[in-house]
């Protein structure tokens, strides 16, 4: 009798374990709980998921914005076999980024980002883990040590702004593509912080960096088919080939800088970001904490990928905002004029703009904020992943779901912004021309929460100083016979600006002043 009940118990236990295993398998394959309230979903088919319902648009941020009309502001779809939730509203976005920031701090692994980051050994695309937290903290403190607070940083930016203005003077009145100059400015600032070096105009290493970085921006993390169906890798793929080539070139450059730093390393003179990361690594190894160092992954690969992130983000994001600002300044000459009037009265012509002028130039500041609103650098941020089962608003979100924050929808929400498609810096000002803290809570240009942009302060400093220097000296116009810049933007890991030419005119007040002195 006892034996029989013992066997029954065992059988029960085995069945329970089997049931549990089957249940979790079914859940991880996208199985749904019967009574849960999942977000409304686009129709989906086996294997392709909802892709057939998405094909009509080429720009995902616009398509996801449009789909709200039919599915509401929180809905889901399947990218191949991946369950994706699209968030188009600021309240839900803040729940994901701030209130439940850690739950949603995961990142998806994709073929292209794995290639770029040696399987997620970086900060932007690496998933949430003790190692990720450690690296992010390190970078944060290194950035505040060399940047942000330090006067040295302002000097570096001003030096670059001066050199940029000199080049612009040399090319006055002729049609000029300003993009490489804006990029060189941003590159040299981040180069100083990462490597203590910079590039002269036309430097071959800089030219090669421009090329590989463009190749990476064109191909990485934009949910291309190979990211949705990783098995497609087995077929020849032009984009993937280009990405591999570009990553190789970038890695060789990073490796060179890293080795130079390793050779010259001196504990008593930590001068840049690589030195700071090396110091953390050596400290850990010397204190015989190599087990810890393994756990948090302070390997050469991690350091290289982290530097690659800071460098890549420092260049592409800042340069993109500057290009958008120039494009809008050309479209809206009245805005440009107001910026110049403000600079003329508050700074004048006897001295250059400095960071301490920031509070004195609210119109310029408002223009920058408006550029970041109307053309967010990363219109879909980088996808988040739910680390555990959770919820957004009243909706159930299963573990493993990818959560995409559509910043485009949030910045163009008609309930929050009047005529959201119109470019109007005044929306950030009150009736006395002073900056309003936040005209709407529906504004997150740098993201928020645990994954908020680490370079926010640095980026704001650079954008402010570069633009103040440019508009103090020059008026930007369309060259005769050219069309206005295209304001649509091309979606990618950053929202890219189409190439355009500018006529840079030296303002009357500067004509007699030699900028070289």
Q: By the criterion CB under 6 A, which residues form the site for ligand PLO?
A: 124, 213, 216-217, 220, 250, 309, 312-313, 316-317, 377-378, 382, 493-494
Q: Where are the alpha helices (DSSP H) in 176-299?
A: 179-195, 204-219, 225-228, 238-264, 273-286, 290-296
User: Considering beta carbons, is residue 115 or 377 the nearer one to ligand PLO?
Assistant: 377
Decide whether 87 or 378 has the Cβ nearer to ligand PLO: 378
Contact yes or no for 110/259 (Cβ under 8 A)? no
Q: Enter the DSSP assignment of 466.
A: H
CA 470 to chain centre: 24
**Cβ 248 to ligand PLO shortest distance, Å:** 12
CA 129 vs. chain centroid, Å, equals: 20
First to last CA, the chain: 103
Planar angle of CA 151, 472, 429, nearest 5 degrees = 85
Closest CB to ligand PLO among 101 and 312? 312
Cβ 214 to ligand PLO shortest distance, Å: 8
A 10 A CB-CB count for 319 gives 26
Q: Minimal distance in Å, beta carbon 477 to ligand PLO?
A: 30
Q: To the nearest whole angstrom, how small is the minimum distance from the Cβ of residue 260 to ligand PLO?
A: 20
Q: Which is nearer to ligand PLO, 362 or 455 (CB)?
A: 455
Which CB atom, from 282 or from 382, has the smaller least distance to ligand PLO? 382
Rounded to the nearest whole angstrom, what is the least distance from the CB of residue 494 to ligand PLO in the complex?
A: 5
Q: What is the DSSP string of 58-116?
A: S-HHHHHHHTHHHH-SEEEEEETTEEEEEE-SHHHHHIIIIITTTTT-B----HHHHHH
Complex with ligand PLO: residue 213 or 442, whichever CB lies closer: 213
The least CB distance from residue 190 to ligand PLO, in Å, is: 11
Neighbour tally for 111: CB within 10 Å: 21
Cα(404)–Cα(247) distance, rounded to whole angstroms? Answer: 26
Q: How far is the CB of 369 from ligand PLO (least distance, A)?
A: 17
Cβ closest to ligand PLO, residue 123 vs residue 392: 123
In terms of phi and psi (left: phi > 0; alpha: psi -120 to 50; beta: otherwise), the region of 405 is beta
- Six-digit token string for 343: 């600079």
Q: Output the residue with the shortest Cβ distance to ligand PLO.
A: 312
Contacts of 297 (CB under 8 A, 6+ apart): 121, 131, 134, 135
In the complex with ligand PLO, which residue's Cβ is closer, 249 or 515?
A: 249
Nearest distance, CB of residue 303 and ligand PLO, angstroms = 15
* Beta pairing partners, 49: 45, 79
Find tokens 């982290």 and name the residue.
306
Q: Min. distance of Cβ 81 from ligand PLO in angstroms?
A: 24
**CB-nearer residue toward ligand PLO: 439 or 492:** 492
Rounded distance, CA 213 to CA 249, Å? 10
φ, ψ (nearest 5 deg) of residue 396: -80, 135
Q: Cβ of residue 327: shortest distance to ligand PLO, in angstroms? A: 18
Cβ closer to ligand PLO: 176 or 240? Answer: 240
Alpha-carbon span 476 to 470, nearest angstrom = 9
Rounded Cα distance between 346 and 351, Å, is 11
SS3 of 273-295: the string is: HHHHHHHHHHHHHHCCCHHHHHH
């Amino acid at each position: 009798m006892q034996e029989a009940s013992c066997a029954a118990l065992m059988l029960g236990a085995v069945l329970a374990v089997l049931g549990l295993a089957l249940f979790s398998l079914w859940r991880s394959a996208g199985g749904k709980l019967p009574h849960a309230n999942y977000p409304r979903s686009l129709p989906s088919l086996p294997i392709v998921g909802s892709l057939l319902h998405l094909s009509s648009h080429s720009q995902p941020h616009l398509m996801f914005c449009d789909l709200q009309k039919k599915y509401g502001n929180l809905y889901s779809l399947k990218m191949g076999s991946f369950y994706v939730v699209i968030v188009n509203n600021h309240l839900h976005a803040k729940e994901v980024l701030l209130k439940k920031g850690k739950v949603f701090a995961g990142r998806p692994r994709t073929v292209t980002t794995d290639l770029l980051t040696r399987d997620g050994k970086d900060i932007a695309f690496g998933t949430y883990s003790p190692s990720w937290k450690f690296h992010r903290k390190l970078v944060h403190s290194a950035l505040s040590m060399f940047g942000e607070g330090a006067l040295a940083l302002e000097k570096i930016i001003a030096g670059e702004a001066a050199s940029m203005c000199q080049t612009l003077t040399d090319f006055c009145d002729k049609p000029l593509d300003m993009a490489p100059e804006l990029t060189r400015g941003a590159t040299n600032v981040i180069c100083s912080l990462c490597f203590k070096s910079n590039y002269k105009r036309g430097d071959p290493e800089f030219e090669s960096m421009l090329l590989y970085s463009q190749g990476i921006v064109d191909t990485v993390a934009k949910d291309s088919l190979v990211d949705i169906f990783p098995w497609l890798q087995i077929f020849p793929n032009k984009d993937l080939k280009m990405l591999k080539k570009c990553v190789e070139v970038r890695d060789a450059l990073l490796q060179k800088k890293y080795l130079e730093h390793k050779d010259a390393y001196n504990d008593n003179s930590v001068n840049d970001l690589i030195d700071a990361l090396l110091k953390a690594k050596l400290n850990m190894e010397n204190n015989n904490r190599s087990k810890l160092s393994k756990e948090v992954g302070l390997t050469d690969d991690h350091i290289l990928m982290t530097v690659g992130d800071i460098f890549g983000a420092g260049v592409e994001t800042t340069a993109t905002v500057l290009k958008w600002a120039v494009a809008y300044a050309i479209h809206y000459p009245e805005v440009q004029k107001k910026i110049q009037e403000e600079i003329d009265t508050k700074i004048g012509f006897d001295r250059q703009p400095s960071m301490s002028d920031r509070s004195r130039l609210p119109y310029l500041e408002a223009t920058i904020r408006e550029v970041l609103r109307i053309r967010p650098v990363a219109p879909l941020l980088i996808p988040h992943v739910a680390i555990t089962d959770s919820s957004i608003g009243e909706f159930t979100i299963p573990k493993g779901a990818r959560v995409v924050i559509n910043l485009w929808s949030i910045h163009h929400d008609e309930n929050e912004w009047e005529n959201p498609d119109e470019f109007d810096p005044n929306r950030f000002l009150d009736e006395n021309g002073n900056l309003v803290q936040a005209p709407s809570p529906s504004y997150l240009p740098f993201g928020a929460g645990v994954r908020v942009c680490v370079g926010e302060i640095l980026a704001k400093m650079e954008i402010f100083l570069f633009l103040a220097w440019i508009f103090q000296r020059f008026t930007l116009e369309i060259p005769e016979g050219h069309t206005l810049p295209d304001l649509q933007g091309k979606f990618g890991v950053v929202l890219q600006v189409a190439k355009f030419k500018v006529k840079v005119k030296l303002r009357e007040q500067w004509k007699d002043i030699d900028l070289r002195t």
